[in-house]
């Protein structure tokens, strides 16, 4: 019986001497929505294609130039959106 009492007292004493847990660090997260300029979501297109049966070589060339210009403008806008989002991601990572 004495052995049990001594064991319980020893366990209680040792439990009181245990290391205190480290203090908790609270982190406040902040959510921010980054929306690129609306003009960047615009990709020009050709609304109406000319009649292919009556197209001349000059009209085909003009159409190809216009399609290439539209594609270039759209690609620039998409690249700008990616750069904006990448910069926002880097800024958010720095804060954390």
Distance (Å, whole) CA 29 – CA 16? 36
Average pLDDT for the chain = 84
Torsion sign across C-alpha atoms 22, 23, 24, 27: negative
Q: pLDDT tens-digit profile of 65-78? A: 999 999 999 999 99
pLDDT confidence of residue 62: 94
Q: What's the pTM?
A: 0.59
Q: Which domain holds residue 16?
A: 2-95
pLDDT confidence of residue 2: 67
pLDDT confidence of residue 10: 67
The total number of structural domains in the chain stands at: 1
Q: Residue ranges of the chain with pLDDT lower than 70?
A: 1-2, 5-6, 8-18, 96
């Amino acid at each position: 019986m004495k052995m049990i009492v001594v064991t319980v007292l020893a366990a209680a004493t040792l439990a009181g001497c245990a290391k205190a847990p480290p203090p908790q660090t609270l982190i406040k997260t902040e959510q921010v929505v980054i929306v690129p300029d609306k003009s960047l979501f615009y990709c020009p297109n050709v609304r109406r294609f000319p009649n292919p049966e009556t197209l001349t070589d000059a009209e085909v060339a003009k159409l190809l130039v216009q399609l290439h210009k539209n594609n270039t403008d759209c690609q620039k806008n998409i690249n700008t959106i990616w750069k904006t989002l990448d910069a926002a991601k880097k800024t958010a990572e720095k804060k954390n």
